[in-house]
């Protein structure tokens, strides 16, 4: 007798053992056709899974997030089957589902080509049409190792050898192709109609650079063709907005091999940087922060006491001088504690808010570097709040409100809040972690903010709130953060005089609003496709003359714009005006001012807005008022 409880609370009774597929069929033919897998007592299982007692059961379809993940994982197997049929000597390794798709790593004697990808995708389509059943099998460990060795799949044999004793070894068979996997999978290849192979990249076996370089084929898979079309169109738009390409085209910055992961900022890019930094500096001043500057290089002993040396050593750049070992700071917090420690503090001084545009260096692997988004040298709008336990909640609430205000100024209002809790590798007692995690969650609860809990993803010294933004393409970016730290101040000797004249250790809140300024600027470039609003634009307007005769007037207009606090450039070349306007338009400037003989005589300017809109002729004062208002109000 099997009793099944469905998600709506209804129950179904079966006289004997029943599969998940049979449960779906008993509910309705439509559900049976749409079913991909099931959830039994909270565990995802195949449709063939047998229920032989009381259980809570849900049928998983492509409409469920788990269903889409199962489609993608199954499509990774489909791709591996196609590769093995076309390239029998290729060895399969690992092929998981990832966000928006999947990948599979292969060991093969030559590089896969774009033509190979087309052939693989065509073979995948053939396998889909055959609607091959996908069947789960279990096999004893040693038998499974011998099985894959006999197939020449030595990577699979190695994976099985590393699986802890006692765990079930499950295989999935589809036709002649057999793969090691926990599952679950869709019932047949016919469920995998919508897929597309994207690219090939290199990947070390098990992520270790000492191991063989494998070939990773990336693909995407969706429940419907419309969803895949929308995704591919989004990727095409994202390619147009790629900050690395726009950085070159708009003369903002560049990167080169002689300084991997470091940015060469050009004049226009640095102008954009300065606008953002000065804006954030004002945010500091208006919200009670003291701006400071700590050294780049600190003695190893300080990093040992802070805990970074033991937990973070591999990501730190080090050097030696006069038999002393130093490290470039990967973060600003130990330096700020030294500033706190520079004199005796009282409870009356708390909360003490310290901010710095602190340059940090982290030894990221070369394979992870990506334009401005992942660099080795970066600057954070970093700050630390030293406070008492009683002040944590109010400070966290105030900080979240400040984050919302700043993001709104840049045009972002879609914020996702995530609380990252204690990791396995951490310092401090669980009771202290309980306090810290409770404080963060309580601060969001007090503001009525819904949040997701990221179990185990906090820093080694404390939990944190992460602030994730969605851009115009729906992509998510993790930017700001606030962390509650009961550990590091005590490790580095920070203390204050309490009301009862005792010495107490302050709580330290690590916080950043934008995060890495490099990453923030990269995100802004892609959000605006390089067409920045007036207040952010490196060059806010250009003045160009129709003929050489208006050169003096054009210079006079530019000087008045500059005197009004605007960023302006001139184009006085002896070129045709249409050619100059076209070239200036490619720079995505908010405004182009054209001056000819008529404008010079009347003291006016002919104004063109970005996108080719002709605003007509207006007085220079009227234009200055218009652009200054946009600049002052920071309109998007």
How big, in percent rounded to 5, are the helix, strand and coil portions of the chain? 40, 30, 30
Beta bridge partners of 468: 416, 478
The two three-digit tokens of residue 369, written as one number: 């570097």
**Strand, helix or coil for residue 210:** coil
Residue 166, pLDDT score: 81
The two three-digit tokens of residue 301, written as one number: 């002993």
| Contacts of residue 525, Cβ cutoff 8 Å, sequence gap at least 6 | 241, 243, 246, 247, 252, 372
User: Hunting for tokens 């009004």 — which residue is that?
Assistant: 564
Does 380 participate in catalysis according to the annotation?
yes
Residue 307, pLDDT score: 83
Residue 314, pLDDT score: 87
Sign of CA dihedral 568, 571, 576, 582: negative
Strands (E), 283-351: 289-291, 297-299, 318-321, 324-328, 345-346
> Is the model's pLDDT at 1 over the cut of 80?
no
State the Cα–Cα distance between residues 329 and 356, nearest whole angstrom. Answer: 13
> Is the model's pLDDT at 64 over the cut of 80?
yes
What element of type H or E holds 122?
helix 114-130
What is the overall mean pLDDT for the chain? 93
State the Cα–Cα distance between residues 405 and 403, nearest whole angstrom. Answer: 5
State the Cα–Cα distance between residues 185 and 44, nearest whole angstrom. Answer: 10
Q: How distant is the alpha carbon of residue 469 from its chain centre? A: 9
| Contacts of residue 315, Cβ cutoff 8 Å, sequence gap at least 6 | 330, 362, 363, 364
State the Cα–Cα distance between residues 525 and 512, nearest whole angstrom. Answer: 20
User: Hunting for tokens 């295989």 — which residue is that?
Assistant: 171
Alpha helices in 447-576 (DSSP H): 488-491, 517-528, 551-563
Does 387 participate in catalysis according to the annotation?
no
**Strand, helix or coil for residue 306:** helix
Residue 394, pLDDT score: 94
Residue 529, pLDDT score: 94
> Is the model's pLDDT at 494 over the cut of 80?
yes
Residue 427, pLDDT score: 81
Residue 206, pLDDT score: 86
Q: From the candidates 49, 84, 336, 362, which is the catalytic residue?
A: 362
Residue 560, pLDDT score: 96
Task: Write the pLDDT tens digit of every residue in 539-551.
Answer: 999 999 999 999 9
Nearest to 333 by CA among 377, 286, 385: 385
The two three-digit tokens of residue 12, written as one number: 């179904």
The two three-digit tokens of residue 482, written as one number: 């606030």
Residue 312, pLDDT score: 82
Q: From the candidates 510, 567, 588, 608, which is the catalytic residue?
A: 510
3-state DSSP of 374-423: ECCEEEEEEEEEEECHHHHHHHHHHHHHHHHHHHHHCCCCCEEEEEECCC
Strands 541-545 and 568-571: parallel
Task: Write the pLDDT tens digit of every residue in 301-356.
Answer: 999 998 888 888 888 999 999 999 999 999 999 999 999 999 999 999 999 999 99
Residue 365, pLDDT score: 84
DSSP letter string, 432-463: HHHHHHHHHHHHHHHTT---EEETT-SBTTB-
The two three-digit tokens of residue 447, written as one number: 């503001």
Confidence class for position 113, pLDDT limits 50, 70, 90:
very high
CB 461 within 8 A of CB 429: no
**Strand, helix or coil for residue 255:** coil
Confidence class for position 208, pLDDT limits 50, 70, 90:
confident
> Is the model's pLDDT at 359 over the cut of 90?
yes
Residue 496, pLDDT score: 97
Q: From the candidates 361, 384, 511, 608, which is the catalytic residue?
A: 384
Q: Which residues are annotated as a binding site for Zn(2+)?
A: 333, 384, 510
Does 382 participate in catalysis according to the annotation?
yes
**Would you call 359 exposed, middle or buried from its count of C-beta atoms within 10 A (0-12, 13-18, 19+)?**
middle
Q: From the candidates 426, 464, 588, 608, which is the catalytic residue?
A: 464
Instruction: Quote the crossing angle between the two packed helices 620-633 and 551-563, to the nearest 10°.
Output: 40
Please compute the mean of the pLDDT values over residues 207-234 and round it to a whole number.
Answer: 93
State the Cα–Cα distance between residues 265 and 253, nearest whole angstrom. Answer: 4
State the Cα–Cα distance between residues 325 and 345, nearest whole angstrom. Answer: 30
Q: From the candidates 181, 191, 333, 396, which is the catalytic residue?
A: 333
Q: How would you label 323-339 residue by residue, b for 16+ Cβ within 10 Å and e otherwise? A: eeebbbbbbbbbbbbeb
Strands 464-470 and 476-485: antiparallel
What element of type H or E holds 70?
helix 65-86
Does 621 participate in catalysis according to the annotation?
no
**Strand, helix or coil for residue 514:** strand
Cis omega before residue 463 (within 30°)?
A: no
The structural domains of the chain, ordered by start, are: 2-61 (3.10.20.30), 66-235 (3.30.980.10), 291-524 (3.30.930.10), 534-633 (3.40.50.800)
Beta bridge partners of 470: 476
Does 503 participate in catalysis according to the annotation?
no
| Contacts of residue 35, Cβ cutoff 8 Å, sequence gap at least 6 | 20, 21, 24, 47, 59, 60, 61, 187
State the Cα–Cα distance between residues 97 and 78, nearest whole angstrom. Answer: 12
Residue 244, pLDDT score: 95
The two three-digit tokens of residue 120, written as one number: 């693989």
Task: Write the pLDDT tens digit of every residue in 6-20.
Answer: 999 999 988 889 999
Question: In this structure, what DSSP letter does residue 110 have?
Answer: S
User: Hunting for tokens 């640095």 — which residue is that?
Assistant: 270
Residue 229, pLDDT score: 96
Lowest-confidence range among 129-133, 235-239, 530-534?
235-239
Percent of the chain with pLDDT over 70: 100
Residue 514, pLDDT score: 96
Q: From the candidates 46, 179, 382, 471, which is the catalytic residue?
A: 382
Measured in degrees and rounded to the nearest 5, phi and psi for residue 162 equal -90, -5
CB 81 within 8 A of CB 68: no
Entry pTM: 0.82
Measured in degrees and rounded to the nearest 5, phi and psi for residue 346 equal -115, 160
The two three-digit tokens of residue 439, written as one number: 């404080």
> Is the model's pLDDT at 552 over the cut of 90?
yes
The two three-digit tokens of residue 386, written as one number: 């030293």
The two three-digit tokens of residue 388, written as one number: 């008492």
Q: From the candidates 81, 91, 174, 380, which is the catalytic residue?
A: 380
Residue 15, pLDDT score: 87
> Is the model's pLDDT at 82 over the cut of 90?
yes
The two three-digit tokens of residue 554, written as one number: 């054009």
State the Cα–Cα distance between residues 66 and 508, nearest whole angstrom. Answer: 39
> Is the model's pLDDT at 489 over the cut of 80?
yes
């Amino acid at each position: 007798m099997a009793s099944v409880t469905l998600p709506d609370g209804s129950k179904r009774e079966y006289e004997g053992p029943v599969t998940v597929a049979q449960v779906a069929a008993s509910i309705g033919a439509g559900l049976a056709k749409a079913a991909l897998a099931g959830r039994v007592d909270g565990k995802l299982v195949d449709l063939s899974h047998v229920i032989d007692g009381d259980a809570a059961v849900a049928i998983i379809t492509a409409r469920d997030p788990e269903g889409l993940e199962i489609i993608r994982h199954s499509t990774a197997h489909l791709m591996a089957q196609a590769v093995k049929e076309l390239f029998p000597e290729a060895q399969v390794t690992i092929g998981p589902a990832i966000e928006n798709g999947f990948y599979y790593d292969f060991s093969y004697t030559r590089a896969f080509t774009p033509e190979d990808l087309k052939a693989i995708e065509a073979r995948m389509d053939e396998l889909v049409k055959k609607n091959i059943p996908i069947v789960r099998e279990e096999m004893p460990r040693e038998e499974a190792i011998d099985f894959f060795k006999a197939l020449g799949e030595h990577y699979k044999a190695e994976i099985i050898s590393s699986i802890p004793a006692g765990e079930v070894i499950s295989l999935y068979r589809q036709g002649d192709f057999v793969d090691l996997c926990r599952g679950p999978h869709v019932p047949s290849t016919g469920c995998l109609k919508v897929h597309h192979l994207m690219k090939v990249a290199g990947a070390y076996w098990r992520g270790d650079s000492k191991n063989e370089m494998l070939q990773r084929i990336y693909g995407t898979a969706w429940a419907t063709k419309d969803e895949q079309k929308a995704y591919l169109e989004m990727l095409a738009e994202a390619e147009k907005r790629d900050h690395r390409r726009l950085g070159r085209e708009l003369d903002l910055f560049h990167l080169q091999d002689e300084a991997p992961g470091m940015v060469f900022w050009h004049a226009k890019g640095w102008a954009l940087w300065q606008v953002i930094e000065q804006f954030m500096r004002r945010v500091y001043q208006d919200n009670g922060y003291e701006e400071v500057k700590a050294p780049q290089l600190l003695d190893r002993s300080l990093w040992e006491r802070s805990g970074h040396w033991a937990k973070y050593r591999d990501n730190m750049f080090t050097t030696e001088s006069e038999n002393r070992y130093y490290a470039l700071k990967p973060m600003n917090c130990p330096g700020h504690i030294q500033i706190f420690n520079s004199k005796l503090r009282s409870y009356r001084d708390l909360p003490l808010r310290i901010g710095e545009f602190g340059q940090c260096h982290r030894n990221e692997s070369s394979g992870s570097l990506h334009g401005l988004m992942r660099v080795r040298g970066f600057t954070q709008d970093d700050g630390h709040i030293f406070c008492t336990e009683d002040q944590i909640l109010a400070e966290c609430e105030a900080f979240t409100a400040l984050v919302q205000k700043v993001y709104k100024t840049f045009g972002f209002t879609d914020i996702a809040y995530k609380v990252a809790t204690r990791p396995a590798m951490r310092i401090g007692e669980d009771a202290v972690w309980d306090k810290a995690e409770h404080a963060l969650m309580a601060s969001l609860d007090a503001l009525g903010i819904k949040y997701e809990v990221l179990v185990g993803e906090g820093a080694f010294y404390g939990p944190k709130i992460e602030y994730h933004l969605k851009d115009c393409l729906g992509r998510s970016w993790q930017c700001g953060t606030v962390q509650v730290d009961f550990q590091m101040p005590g490790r580095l000797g920070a203390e204050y005089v309490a009301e009862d004249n005792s010495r107490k250790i302050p709580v330290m809140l690590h916080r950043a609003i934008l995060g890495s300024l490099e990453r923030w600027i990269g995100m802004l470039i892609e959000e605006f496709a390089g067409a920045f609003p007036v207040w952010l634009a490196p060059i806010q307007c250009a003045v160009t003359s129709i003929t050489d005769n208006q050169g003096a007037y054009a210079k006079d207009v530019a000087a008045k714009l500059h005197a009004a606090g605007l960023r302006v450039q001139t184009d006085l070349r002896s070129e045709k005006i249409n050619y100059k306007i076209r070239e200036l338009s490619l720079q995505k400037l908010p405004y182009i001012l054209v001056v000819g003989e008529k404008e010079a005589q009347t003291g006016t300017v002919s104004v063109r807005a970005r996108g080719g809109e002709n605003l007509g002729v207006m007085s220079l004062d009227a234009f200055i008022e218009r652009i200054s208002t946009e600049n002052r109000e920071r309109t998007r």
